[in-house]
Amino acid sequence: RDALKMFTFYIVPNMCPDGAFRGHLRTNAGGHNLNREWCPSEKLDGTPYDAPTLNRSPEVYHVLQKMDKTGVDVFLDVHGDEE
């Protein structure tokens, strides 16, 4: 309870509800793996991979926008699908 008085918590209970509804563990309804959408990277052939994008991963895009706006001290990515 002390932490609730000292800090502001933003909780996203399910980053990918549309994908989860379809039985996907990490991909959204468009079939994109949201674990790979958090920052730009390179494809295996060396070409740039721009991420996140509103078209491919709006879930990640909007959460990152909020994180940039509010600032983040701690970020936890918890998965409950492993056995």
Type of residue found at 30: G
Asked whether residue 79 carries a pLDDT value surpassing 80, the answer given is no
Q: What pLDDT score does 77 carry?
A: 83
Share of the chain above pLDDT 90, in %: 54
Helix, strand and coil percent figures for the chain, each rounded to 5: 30, 5, 60
Q: What does the pLDDT average to over 63-67?
A: 94
pLDDT of residue 82: 59
Identify the bridge partners of residue 41 per DSSP, sorted by sequence position.
49
Categorize the per-residue pLDDT at 19 as very low, low, confident or very high, splitting at 50, 70 and 90: confident
Q: Is the pLDDT of residue 49 over 70?
A: yes
Per-residue burial over 15-31, b if 16 or more Cβ lie within 10 Å, else e, is: bbeebbeeebebbbeee
Show Cβ contacts of residue 4 under 8 Å, excluding neighbours closer than 6 positions. none
